[in-house]
Amino acid sequence: MFHRRAVKLIPSNEYCDQPPELVQPLCVSESPCSTAGSGLARPAAISVRLVCGRSLSPGQAALWRELQQSNPELASPCFAPEFTQAVAAVRDDVEAAFIEQDHEVAAIFPFQRRPGSRAVPVGGIVSDYQGLICRPGFSCDPQELLKACGLVAWDFDRLLASQSLFVPHHKLCEPSARLDLSHGYDAYVAQRQAAGTHQIKKCEYLMRRLEREVGPLRFVRHCADPRLLAQVLAWKSYQYRQTGWKDLFATDWGRALVGRIHQLRSPGFAGMLSLLYAGQQLVAGHLGMHSETVWHYWFPAYHRQFGRYSPGIILLLKMAEAAEGLGLRYIDIGTGVTLYKKRLMNASVSVAEGSVERPSGLVLLRIARRRLKSFVKTLAAP
């Protein structure tokens, strides 16, 4: 249960070491907010209570789950309480703001507190969907929410664009690709072929060639062996280094997070290590997670020796074929719509990049830095 403490804000690293049963509320703030119902906004007071991510109680997690399930837009496992809890287990800067309205929790705002009273979404770079956990139509003043949390800025890069209260703070929007498998795999394949893509037919040819030249294909839906997880992550780390991307698994918290999610198994959230073999040879793997209806395509990797067979795409299609048996309706394959995503996707979710900022000296400095960066880019342009 919550214990109220007004006004004084306690930095997250000061209270995350408290025993799990101690929930630390922070400040209470009032601002004009409303939830959509009659279609007319009405002034309503909100109070915000902050909870350390490591101190989330079973009751609070259940309330979180209830809010998530009430909103179809929050079906991704990125919005599940288990995801925030997993990140909080390996980082000490995770918090959740429980937003109360009319004496009940109307929304939850999970975030990571950074130095300078700045915040980012939970998981940062590995968080592919971001936003409030709330019922459809919830709205409030984002700047007042930040004030109540003791923050001056919240930076996001894959926020659900449909959460309209943040629209004034968007800098850009882009599609996050997905495979809609709600009518089954065969219907999905027929739809893509009717749309004129030959990607699936090409992959079927590569499957036959891989079987002929290496060995029979075998798809493993989920493997619990941590040694095989380590192999897939080693391939992914090599890919990051070769392409100039920051290697997430070079950090202690990154390795600990994926290891933890790999072990999680519950009806509403589970880690999934899927593998593709050709004969006895492991050729591709993917670590992801799923909710009740959505499989999140997260960390795919493959053996470089077999790259000419496109084993990563073959594995994705095997996952799509297996999704119906798991009760999963979608596979989210994320932003950065590359050629293979354009050919395989048949749906998308709009996500936004931007910042919510309150007037402060820090924000003025951030604005000055952005303008300087833009100016330098202009000078460097041919």
Residue-range domain boundaries for the chain: 12-36+43-175+351-365, 182-328
Whose CA is closest to 132, among 107, 164, 114, 153? 107
Residue 46's pLDDT is what? 79
- Rounded to whole angstroms, the Cα distance separating 277 from 218 reads 5
- Rounded to whole angstroms, the Cα distance separating 96 from 90 reads 15
- Rounded to whole angstroms, the Cα distance separating 280 from 46 reads 59
Residue 237's pLDDT is what? 96
| CB-based contact 101:35 (threshold 8 Å) | yes
Residue 318's pLDDT is what? 98
- Rounded to whole angstroms, the Cα distance separating 194 from 78 reads 32
Tokens coding 268: 């509403």
CB atoms within 10 A of CB 261: 23
- Rounded to whole angstroms, the Cα distance separating 46 from 50 reads 13
Tell which CATH classification among 2.70.180.20, 1.10.12.10, 3.40.630.30, 1.20.1250.20 matches the domain 182-328. Answer: 3.40.630.30
Distance from chain centroid for Cα 116 = 24
Task: Give Dmax over CA atoms of the chain in angstroms.
Answer: 69
**HSE-CB for 205 with a 13 A CA cutoff:** 6
182-328: same fold as 12-36+43-175+351-365? yes
Q: Are strands 118-120 and 133-134 parallel, antiparallel or unpaired?
A: unpaired
Residue 144's pLDDT is what? 93
The H-assigned helical ranges of the chain are 12-15, 58-69, 81-90, 142-149, 185-194, 199-213, 226-243, 252-263, 311-323, 339-344, 361-380
Which sign, positive or negative, has the C-alpha torsion 291, 295, 301, 305? positive
Residue 28's pLDDT is what? 38
> What's the predicted TM-score (pTM) here?
0.84
Residue 361's pLDDT is what? 59
Across the chain, which has 382 residues, the per-10-residue mean pLDDT values are 32 33 34 39 73 97 97 98 98 97 93 96 96 94 95 97 96 97 97 95 97 98 97 96 91 96 94 98 98 97 97 98 97 94 97 92 62 60 58
Range 12-36+43-175+351-365: architecture per CATH: 3-Layer(aba) Sandwich (3.40)
DSSP β-bridge partners for residue 35: 138
CA distances from 335 to 65, 126, 297, 349 (A): 25, 12, 11, 9
